[in-house]
Structure 1
Amino acid sequence: MLISQIRDDAGNQAVVVRNGSEACILKGAPSTYALVQEAIEKGISLADCIRGYDLGPAVDLEQLAAEGRLLLPITHPDGAHLHLTGTGLTHLGSAATRDAMHAKSKNDDANVTDSMKMFHMGLENGRPAPGHVGVQPEWFYKGNGACAVAPGGDLVSPGFCNDGGEEPEIAGVYVIARDGSPFRVGFALANEFSDHVMERQNYLYLAHSKLRPASFGPELLVGELPESVQGTSRIYRGGSLLWEKPFLSGEANMSHTLANLEHHHFKYGVFRQPGDVHVHMFGTATLSFADGISCQEGDEVEISAPGFGVPLKNRLVFRPSEDAAVQVKVL
């Protein structure tokens, strides 16, 4: 089952449910967030909660995407209570590269970067037995709901940036119950937009490089994540395909289990505040930046994967450089 949110013909927000090829408006459902809250309060699955509603008219999500009427698949009524976060160094890449890196770390540990050491830590202890805790991953904060960009919207790189590039990922979407328990709603395609040039200057700039907008959706996969997700990331420039590459996700392609990544996020009480929404991005091994691509104003990024519905598309925008310092006023 896939769920999304759109602007209907009257301009109102509506929830859309897709089972198979047909997508229909869910009659009487004000929002995905309201459905999730209802399911938690009733102690039933989200899918069963949705089945309690009648289906309305069918809609063409591809056409709505072309018309700019797709919304984020979930939001919070107060954007400050939606958190965008992520983990890095979680995906394996090719087996040959992994083996070569592992051999280097054992033979010449002094020349291995902190990033590579953390990657190896995940290989060695990122997949604990169920109910056990493994090594913690690299973790970063991207922002709140003010940084969440709807599918089809612009990902804007600020004027002080060095660069801006796509990161095709799978994100887990969560809502916190009244008692502080995290509930996973589902999974969505995500573009974890980052400044890779800034990050490359010094790994201590990682936190700065990640404070950028991100997009996720358009559709939310309700249920379990497939063991292996095989998607495609594309960049179009001037209407022509500039770059294309497959990306892999799912636990079969990761050095950490989802449960381990979830534990190390929600172990912090600040992330278990009742009612909050969390969009947690699980990382990637595929970047155009790694292939020498420097994104430009107006480039369009398309991220797709079978089983996730309509592709996630966003345009990249770069603000002019900002030389003036931010002035803080004294009260």
Structure 2
Amino acid sequence: MTVLFEASYQQEPYVGLGDPGDAVLTLYPAAGLDLPAAVLAAGGGVPALAAALAAGRSPVTAAAQEVAFRPPLLPHSPGDAMVSGFMATHNVKADSGAPDQPNWFFKGLGDVLKVSGEPLRVPADPVAVTEEAEVVLVYVGDAEGVPRYAGYTFGNDLTDIGRFRRHNGHLSYAKLCDAGIAPWLFLGTPPAHVTGHVTIERDGRAAWQGAFVTGTKALHYGLRDITAELFSYASLRHPGRVHYVYLGADRSSFHNGFTTADRDRVTMEFATHGVTLTHPLRWG
């Protein structure tokens, strides 16, 4: 599976194409490259994007552990990125009375996105925080501001589900936690079937483990319908703005009676795609 990634190597920005499991990476200097524009111009085509990355740029190689990865297509100004998502989208959560359009929430600007290894911050005194393993769609606003699909990745939509359960009008507050995100942008259509498992460690030992299923086949809603409705609003349209849309989750540790705590460590393995995310949790 070919993915696009961005990374800092020897304090310089680079981009590359590869596989999430690659131990050695081929990197192209990113200075002067409008990467979102190149991705849209390539239209999901790997050869076209590879040619754009290599044009006039001499590659270098580096071991994966020597680079610092960034969220995919994240603008240098956090205010130019918007992180949001849909709630209760999966068949296991939607009942016969589900609305035509799922609830949408705003999670934050680009600075809430954290790659593996970085802590996920939670507001002080949460009620009950849970992990949510999700597919994340990435869109880039074109010259007219219309969000164009660029690719997908995976993430952890950390949520104070206890606050929402206590008062469902507080969904907007419940979602204002950091969001884990993989640095890999998968080029192509969103995945139909994704499986994996979560491990939550406390004091160095596994405190909870569970499996999850996600992907478009697990959704109660038509993906094209809900994203078209979302991006029909003019307030979300702006040239160059990057949108990260979390598509909702299967059941989480909370639904199995577990409650996370400050300093817990959450690892998500998206086994079907070779992606692992690990984040320590930090209250306040």
> TM-score, normalized by length of structure 2?
0.88
Instruction: Give CA-to-partner distance per residue, 1:191-241, whole Å, 9 cap, x none.
Output: 101111111111111111112211211312111122211122221222222
**Between Structure 1 and Structure 2, whose CA radius of gyration is higher?**
1
User: 2:36·2:73 contact (CA, 8 Å) conserved in 1?
Assistant: no
Aligned to 1:240: 205
Point out where structure 1 has 5 or more consecutive residues left out of the alignment. 103-116, 122-134, 320-331
User: Aligned to 2:11, what secondary structure does the other structure show?
Assistant: coil
Rate the CA distance shift 1:280–1:20 in 2: closer, same or farther, 3 A.
closer
Residue 73 of structure 1: CA displacement?
2.1
Deviation, structure 1 residue 24:
2.4
Which amino acid is 2:164 matched to?
Answer: E
User: Deviation at 1:57?
Assistant: 4.1
**Against the structure 1 CA distance between its residues 90 and 196, is the aligned structure 2 distance closer, same or farther, given a 3 Å change threshold?**
same
Unaligned runs of 5+ residues in structure 2 are none
Aligned in 2, Cα 1:12/1:87: closer, same or farther, shift over 3 Å? same
Amino acid at match of 1:193: L
- Distance (Å, rounded) in 1 between the aligned partners of 2:136 and 2:42: 24
Does 1:25 find its partner at 2:33? no
Alignment-derived partner of residue 70 in structure 2: 71
Please tell me whether residue 227 in structure 1 is matched to residue 192 in structure 2: yes
How many residue pairs were aligned? 278
- Which residue of the other structure, out of 59, 78, 81, is the alignment partner of 1:56? 59
Contact between 1:2 and 1:309, CA under 8 Å: does it hold in 2?
Answer: no
Distance of 1:60 and 1:238 partners within structure 2: 30
Give the residue type in structure 2 aligned to 1:7: S
Name the residue aligned to 1:82.
81
Distance 1:254 1:290, change over 3 A: same
Deviation at 1:138, TM superposition (A): 1.1
Q: Which has the higher helix share?
A: 1
Equivalent positions of 1:239-318 (< 5 A) are 239-318=204-283
In 1, are the aligned partners of 2:17 and 2:50 still within 8 Å (CA)?
A: no
**Closer, same or farther in 2 for the Cα pair 1:191/1:253, shift >3 Å?**
same
Kindly indicate whether the alpha-carbon contact (under 8 Å) linking 1:3 and 1:17 is maintained by their aligned counterparts in 2.
Answer: yes
Which amino acid in structure 1 is aligned with residue 207 of structure 2? L
The amino acid of 1:202's aligned partner reads H
Q: Output the CA distance in 1 between the equivalents of 2:122 and 2:43.
A: 41
| Distance change >3 Å, CA 215–CA 81, structure 1 → 2 | same
Q: Aligned partners of 2:45 and 2:109: how far apart in 1?
A: 24
Q: Percent identity?
A: 23
Structure with the higher strand share, 1 or 2: 2
Task: Note the alpha carbon deviations across 1:30-75, whole angstroms, 9 max, x for none.
Answer: 49x82221343x56545244221348344443x35xx8x2322221
RMSD: 2.4
Structure 1 runs of 4+ with >6 Å offset = none
Instruction: Tell me, yes or no, if structure 1 residue 36 matches structure 2 residue 36.
Output: yes
